Amino acid sequence: MEKRREKRLDEENKVVIHVLPENEQQEEESFYSFSRDISVGGLRLMTDSPLPVKTRVRLEIALAESQKLITGIAEVRWVKSLFDDDVFEMGLEFVELDPQSRVHLLEHVYRKVLSR
């Protein structure tokens, strides 16, 4: 039984992840990834750099079809190892999206869901 509240789109989008420092001595770490799916509530992505659960990140997601940029803060909710700990999947939940990004994401997801 599907537990998700939001419809998910299976699609690949480019994602830039900026790990938010936990203190002033820590530097911001950034890396690139690709989404496996996306919804209004979050996304699943592939990475070779897994992060601990509850890590907060600033995301920049370039929606492949519309080329709109989604920016906001997300939290790592789960991590799953694939391929002998060389590749991982991570589930991230959006905790803060700027208003324009939320509108772009809603339009993107529901346009695709309704066109199926």
What pLDDT, in 10s, does the model give residues 91-101? Answer: 999 999 999 99
- Considering the domain boundaries, does residue 1 fall inside one? no
Mean pLDDT of the chain: 87
**2 band by pLDDT with thresholds 50, 70 and 90:** very low
Mean pLDDT over 82-87 rounds to: 82
CATH code assigned at 109: 2.40.10.220
**115 band by pLDDT with thresholds 50, 70 and 90:** confident
- Considering the domain boundaries, does residue 102 fall inside one? yes
- Dihedrals phi, psi of 103, to nearest 5 degrees: -65, -50
Q: Which residues, including other chains, have CB under 8 Å from residue 9's CB and lie 6 or more apart?
A: 37, 38, 39, 108, 109, 112, 113
- Considering the domain boundaries, does residue 3 fall inside one? no
Q: Which residues, including other chains, have CB under 8 Å from residue 97's CB and lie 6 or more apart?
A: 70, 71, 72, 73, 105
Total domains in the chain come to 1
Q: What is residue 39's DSSP assignment?
A: -
Over residues 32-84, the pLDDT tens digits come to 999 999 999 999 999 888 999 999 999 999 998 888 999 999 999 999 998 77
- Considering the domain boundaries, does residue 4 fall inside one? no
- Considering the domain boundaries, does residue 18 fall inside one? yes
Distance CA 37, CA 59 (A): 15
Q: What is the pTM of this model?
A: 0.86
Domain boundaries, position 47: 9-114
Mean pLDDT over 6-32 rounds to: 84
